[in-house]
């Protein structure tokens, strides 16, 4: 009985984390939010039958397209036959011809007309202007969504000019919404196009710390009125509330948001935390979040170092010592000399032969932990200058995390 609840709860949480509408509906209730502002602008254009244009700006993963989709969905429900939406993407429809063809095709689908694939650029553009005029007469607003707006602003900007020029005439009723992650997207426009584009910009910023708390509670707390068992739900929710208030959890989320505070990154983190839930116990723990953080902030070189053999570690330590001694360039032979001096001074037990060391060195080359510093292929491996590809602190950390690494290595490392 408990296990079925756990499975259902996991399913519910995962579904929530993949549903952008659910996530961004948290931020949509205040009248100051971007959702309300966007809805006001688009709905007033629809009801007052005037043309409008605006830009949605913000870093990637902050919910621009998600909020726009929410707004359009709500408006389509409120005004069922009065809006048609045309979506273009700057990455897919980079050419003016391509973009116009796509506009014509989508208009045809919306209004159930036959689309001709052999229509020329001229035909498509006449068609678009005629359709805009027809829609204007029928009081239908056409909403153009231009994703990756800055890519449309490359080249001669003919598509943007013709769209915005069509909006300057009284007979059409259209809203052009540009979505871009470049903050200076409107500076990229030519002055003619910029003059026709209204100055309205909506800035989407990553959420602040208290907004993140609200979002966490909204997503992770299970609803009490679902068909999961009441006790399980209350237990689950109380544990989640305890974790959220814990100082260590706040440290974990701080570490995550200090390098990337966008909503999409945070959702990825929560998804991997939820996937780590132990199905036997059925509750979330702090450990889930810690392991989620380590999967997101992976250090591939450190993982590599964990699997190195002792001899390989030894070679890398010698190279580090040579670098610390400010030797500009060194090759395998100088590394061997250093190896011999360490062996002599510290009297370590294992001393491997030249060929074995060479084989270990080749392994390091394969794993890309060291590489050749020059480009030539004429000399053999021992004489070509090499360099370490990991920093000293990474090497130090790797030595600590390697299970078979004896303590004396650390001593030799710490010059």
Residues binding another protein (CB under 8 A) = 31, 40-41, 44, 47-51, 57-60, 120-122, 125, 136-137, 139, 150, 156, 158, 161-162, 165, 167-171, 181-185, 191-192, 194-196, 198-201, 203, 205-206, 208, 257-261, 297, 299-301, 391, 394
Q: Which is nearer to another protein, 207 or 222 (CB)?
A: 207
CB of 347 to another protein, least distance (A): 35
Nearer to another protein, 3 or 254 (CB): 254
User: Who's near 372: CB < 8 A, 6+ residues apart?
Assistant: 365, 384, 385, 386, 387
Question: Minimum distance between the CB of residue 403 and another protein, rounded to whole angstroms?
Answer: 22
Q: Cβ of residue 253: shortest distance to another protein, in angstroms?
A: 12
Residue 8 Cβ, how far from another protein at the closest point, in Å?
A: 35
Q: Nearest-CA neighbor of 58 among 161, 178, 214? A: 178
Residues 6+ positions from 98 with CB-CB distance below 8 Å: 92
Q: What's the min distance (Å) between Cβ of 341 and another protein? A: 29
Our CB check for another protein shows the closer of 12 and 302 to be: 302
Whether 58 contacts 259, CB under 8 Å: no
Which residue, 168 or 327, has its beta carbon nearer to another protein? 168
3-state SS, residue 143: strand
- For tokens 């392994």, the residue is 363
Nearer to another protein, 44 or 116 (CB): 44
Q: Are 178 and 146 in contact (CB under 8 A)?
A: yes
> To the nearest whole angstrom, how small is the minimum distance from the Cβ of residue 302 to another protein?
9
What are the beta bridge partners of residue 178?
A: 55, 146
**8 A C-beta contact, residue 140 and residue 111:** no
Kindly give the pairing relationship between strand 330-331 and strand 385-388. Answer: antiparallel
Minimum Å gap between C-beta 28 and another protein is 16
8 Å CB contact between 175 and 51: yes
Complex with another protein: residue 69 or 394, whichever CB lies closer: 394
- How many other CB atoms are there within 10 angstroms of residue 302's CB atom? 16
The residue (of 161 and 372) whose beta carbon lies closer to another protein is 161
Between 291 and 397, whose beta carbon lies closer to another protein? Answer: 397
Neighbours of 248 (CB within 10 A): 10
Do residues 145 and 87 touch, judged by C-beta distance below 8 A? Answer: yes
Tell me the angle at which helices 209-220 and 2-18 cross, rounded to the nearest 10 degrees: 140
Q: Would you say 5 or 45 has its CB closer to another protein?
A: 45
* Angle between helix 354-366 and helix 332-346 axes, rounded to 10 deg: 120
Least separation in angstroms between CB 366 and another protein: 19
**Look-up of token digits 């068992």:** 229
Least separation in angstroms between residue 123's CB and another protein is 10
| Spatial distance between the Cα atoms of 29 and 119, rounded to a whole number of angstroms | 46
**From the CB of 54, what's the least distance to another protein, in Å?**
11
How many whole angstroms separate alpha carbon 386 and alpha carbon 316? 11
Closer residue to another protein (CB): 100 or 315 = 100
Classify residue 118 by burial, with Cβ atoms within 10 Å: 0-12, 13-18, 19+: exposed
Q: What is the DSSP code (8-state) at residue 221?
A: S
Integer Cα distance of 246 and 332 in angstroms:
51
């Amino acid at each position: 009985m408990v296990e079925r609840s756990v499975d259902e709860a996991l399913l519910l949480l995962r579904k929530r984390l993949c549903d952008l509408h659910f996530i961004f509906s948290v931020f949509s209730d205040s009248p100051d939010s971007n959702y309300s502002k966007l809805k006001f602008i688009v709905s007033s254009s629809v009801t007052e039958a005037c043309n409008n244009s605006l830009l949605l700006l913000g870093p990637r993963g902050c919910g621009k397209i998600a909020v726009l989709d929410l707004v359009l969905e709500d408006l389509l429900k409120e005004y069922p036959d009065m809006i048609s939406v045309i979506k273009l993407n700057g990455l897919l429809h980079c050419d003016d011809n391509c973009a116009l063809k796509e506009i014509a095709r989508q208009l045809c689908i919306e209004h159930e007309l036959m689309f001709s694939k052999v229509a020329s650029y001229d035909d498509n553009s006449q068609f678009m202007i005629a359709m805009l005029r027809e829609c204007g007469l029928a009081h239908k607003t056409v909403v153009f969504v231009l994703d990756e707006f800055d890519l449309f602003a490359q080249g001669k900007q003919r598509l943007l000019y013709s769209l915005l020029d069509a909006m300057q005439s009284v007979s059409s009723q259209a809203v052009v919404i540009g979505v871009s992650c470049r903050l200076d997207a409107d500076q990229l426009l030519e002055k003619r196009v910029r003059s026709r584009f209204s100055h309205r910009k909506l800035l989407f910023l990553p959420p602040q710390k208290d907004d993140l708390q609200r979002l966490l509670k909204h997503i992770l707390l299970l609803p009490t009125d679902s068909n999961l068992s009441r006790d399980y739900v209350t237990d689950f929710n109380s544990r989640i509330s305890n974790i959220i208030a814990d100082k260590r959890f706040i440290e974990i989320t701080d570490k995550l948001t200090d390098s990337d505070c966008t909503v999409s990154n945070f959702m990825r983190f929560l998804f991997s935390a939820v996937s780590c839930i132990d199905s036997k116990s059925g509750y979330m723990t702090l450990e889930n979040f810690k392991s989620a953080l380590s999967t997101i902030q992976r250090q591939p070189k450190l993982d590599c170092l964990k699997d190195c053999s002792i001899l390989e570690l030894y070679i890398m330590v010698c190279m580090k010592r040579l670098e610390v001694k400010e030797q500009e360039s060194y090759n395998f032979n100088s590394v061997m000399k250093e190896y011999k001096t360490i062996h002599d001074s510290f009297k370590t037990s294992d001393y491997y032969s030249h060929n074995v060391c060479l084989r270990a060195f080749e392994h390091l080359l394969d794993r890309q932990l060291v590489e050749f510093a020059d480009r030539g292929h004429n000399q053999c491996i021992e004489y070509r200058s090499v360099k370490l590809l990991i920093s000293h602190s990474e090497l130090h950390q790797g030595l600590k995390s390697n299970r078979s690494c004896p303590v004396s290595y650390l001593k030799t490392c710490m010059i």
